[in-house]
Amino acid sequence: MLRPVEWNPWVRGLGGAAMGGILAFAVYHAVRLPRVGLILVLGAFAGFLLAAVLPRYFRTLRLAGIAINVPQVGRVNFAVTKGSQYVAWQLFVEGMTRVASQPLAADSGVIREAMTSLYGIFSITRDILKDTRPSARTGSAPTVEHLALAMLNSEIRPFLSRWHPNLLTWERTHPDEHEALWPENAACRAALLETQRRLVRYILSFGELARVPNVRQIVTGTLDPALVPDGPRESES
């Protein structure tokens, strides 16, 4: 059987030499043209390169689009780029490894620790967004930054603004008592659980935007399955 041409080093070498000779011949005659002719040749060559390279670049810039159910908003189509993929991966990892993404049992856990973890998510998310360049917009679709800011301003900030001052005041006036004796303990824990359920949806969405394989199985296996929303997600290529 004959060896395929693409694997024959002699054929590749001869082909390269022929292409080099043709290019040298073209350059030799191009530089002998009048200035206007040379400019036209160079412009045509540059236009050819742009037409051949730029479409490929923009195809890789936008990887895909994905439809996500955003808490308190509904189903939204997001643009996914290489840059936003990396940001989404960072936010996914941070959310998956924080105490705030784990529910507190009625008779265990510490609300103060959960609040500190929530504040940590707020701070690290803000730092990630500040330290990365904004994702390139592709049409009118929102980006991962929009989702991250919605998580901060619609979920974490309202909870902390509502409950942190109350708990702090009680801690200062009852320094030797356990928070279980705090009159608002049960109400705060209920509000925290609802916030956590919505945060897990954000974490899952970040994983989907980051194109994490089997992200739902990872989230369900790592976090409390009761917090993971039901139903498959739908991707659009």
- Measure the CA–CA gap between 210 and 82, rounded to whole angstroms: 9
Beta bridge partners of 74: 70
Longest Cα–Cα distance in the chain: 92
Q: Which residues contact 69 (CB under 8 A, 6 or more apart)?
A: 75, 76, 201, 205, 229, 233
Please give the order of strands across the beta sheet that includes 62-70.
Answer: 74-81, 62-70, 234-236
DSSP of 40-90: HHHHHHHHHHHHHHHHHHHHHHEEEEEEEEETTTEEEEEEEEHHHHHHHHH
Among candidates 186, 203, 197, which has minimal Cα distance to 227?
197
Q: Which residues contact 34 (CB under 8 A, 6 or more apart)?
A: none
Beta bridge partners of 38: none
Mean pLDDT by 10 residues, the chain (237 residues): 46 66 63 58 57 48 59 67 85 86 70 90 93 72 85 94 95 91 93 90 89 86 73 45
pLDDT value for 183: 95
pTM over 0.75: no
Beta bridge partners of 67: 77, 234
For residue 210, report the phi and psi dihedrals to the nearest 5 degrees: -80, -5
pLDDT value for 159: 96
Tokens of 99: 């105490």
pLDDT value for 170: 94
pLDDT value for 228: 74
